[in-house]
DNA sequence: CGAACAGGTTTAAGTTTTTAAACCTATCGA
DNA sequence: TCGATAGGTTTAAAAACTTAAACCTGTTCG
């Protein structure tokens, strides 16, 4: 119960960490809007350097947010949001199941216990 | 469309940032398990100092994850996950609507080609 | 082959986050 | 009022994150 919530929170840690940077959010959005792209094309549309983009791509890869497909010289990065989305959905469903949507505020009496 | 996803991603930034720290996750879980608690009781159950707990509580307050109720000397913190959960749920539903669950994922084999 | 191009890696610096010590404020009871 | 308790704030240092310059690898094509 609480154990499950704990487990899910921890499993979602990399998801939260990955999405807690605006540049990485931008990359996700760019790939979503325009489909697969190589690093240089992403760099052209962002305001950070290529090594920085490359670094964020690495984190996104490790977090399972994107996949990479090499075609000749080029490496095309494309979104694969299924896994992180599934993790978040699972966490949300557990939290919503355990926490009554009607506020949980604790009465002062109970607080004494 | 993409604009909406963008807007939701940005609105969820504080949620991601707040939940991307294990200690803050621990505080959320402790409050969920045991109900409202004051700072000292939280500190007793964690491995960080009281000022650190206090700091994380401040961030959780700013993120709308908890509320505070003062009774005499004591300040009881309790969970109020409704708002962040609603934000996450909204983002998830948009992402799931825009991204077909069955995807274009590139298998490692295909990637080589 | 060898020059040009795409892109990953290392490194070093700047920035932000996290933390605990020291300090300050407010409440309660004697 | 005074002392003890609960807890927030400031500060300074350590850790982590982000970034760009310089460098290295691998592919394509003349």
Residues in chain B where the model's pLDDT stays below 50: 102-113
A108 CB below 7 A from strand D atoms: no
Under DSSP, the state recorded for A6 is H
In a domain, B104, yes or no: no
What is the pLDDT at residue A100? Answer: 65
What is the pLDDT at residue B58? Answer: 97
Segment A2-59, tens digit of pLDDT: 789 999 999 999 999 999 999 999 999 999 999 999 999 999 999 999 999 999 999 9
In a domain, A107, yes or no: no
Please tell me which of the candidates B25, B29, B36 has its beta carbon nearest to residue A106: B36
Label residue B38 exposed, middle or buried (CB < 10 Å: 0-12, 13-18, 19+): middle
Kindly list the residues from chain A whose CB atom is less than 8 angstroms away from the CB atom of residue B80: 103-105
Question: Average pLDDT, stretch A94-105?
Answer: 67
In a domain, A52, yes or no: yes
Instruction: Return the SS3 of B72.
Output: coil
Domain span including residue A11: 2-99
What is the pLDDT at residue B100? Answer: 65
Query: Which structure tokens are listed for A69?
Result: 């497909």
State the Cα–Cα distance between residues B71 and B50, nearest whole angstrom.
19
pLDDT reading at A111 higher than 50? no
What is the pLDDT at residue A110? Answer: 34
pLDDT reading at A93 higher than 70? yes
In a domain, B103, yes or no: no
State the Cα–Cα distance between residues A17 and A15, nearest whole angstrom.
5
A21 in Cβ contact with A52 (< 8 Å):
no
In a domain, A110, yes or no: no
In a domain, A61, yes or no: yes
What is the pLDDT at residue B98? Answer: 78
The total number of structural domains in chain A stands at: 1
Protein-to-nucleotide distance from the CA of A31 to the C1' of D14, whole angstroms: 37
Please tell me which of the candidates A17, A92, A106 has its beta carbon nearest to residue B92: A92
Segment B88-108, tens digit of pLDDT: 999 999 998 877 654 444 333
Of chain B, the percentage scoring pLDDT greater than 90 comes to 79
Residue of B6, B11, B32 to mutate when probing chain A, most A C-beta within 10 A: B32
Indicate yes or no: CB of B82 within 8 angstroms of CB of A68: no
Instruction: Return the SS3 of A72.
Output: coil
State the Cα–Cα distance between residues B51 and B31, nearest whole angstrom.
18
Give the distance from residue B55's alpha carbon to the nearest chain A alpha carbon, in angstroms: 19
What is the pLDDT at residue A3? Answer: 85
What is the pLDDT at residue B3? Answer: 85
Residue of A1, A60, A63, A85 to mutate when probing chain B, most B C-beta within 10 A: A85
Indicate yes or no: CB of A85 within 8 angstroms of CB of B71: no
Q: Report the CATH number that the domain containing residue B52 is assigned in CATH.
A: 1.10.10.10
Ranges assigned E (strand) in A6-94: 66-71, 74-79
In a domain, A106, yes or no: no
Kindly list the residues from chain A whose CB atom is less than 8 angstroms away from the CB atom of residue B98: 32
What is the pLDDT at residue A2? Answer: 75
The helix (H) or strand (E) run that includes residue B43 is helix B39-45
Segment A43-69, tens digit of pLDDT: 999 999 999 999 999 999 999 999 999
In a domain, B108, yes or no: no
Q: CA dihedral in degrees (A41, A44, A47, A52; nearest 10)?
A: 40
């Amino acid at each position: 119960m609480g154990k499950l919530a704990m487990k899910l929170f921890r499993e979602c840690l990399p998801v939260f960490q990955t999405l807690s940077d605006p540049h990485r959010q931008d990359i996700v959005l760019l790939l979503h809007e325009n489909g697969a792209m190589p690093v240089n094309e992403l760099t052209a549309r962002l305001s950070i350097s290529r090594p920085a983009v490359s670094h964020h791509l690495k984190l996104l890869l490790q977090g399972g947010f994107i996949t990479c497909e090499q075609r000749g010289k080029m490496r095309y990065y494309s979104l694969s949001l299924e896994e992180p989305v599934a993790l978040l959905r699972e966490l949300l469903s557990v939290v919503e199941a355990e926490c009554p949507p009607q506020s949980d505020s604790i009465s002062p009496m109970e607080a004494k216990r």
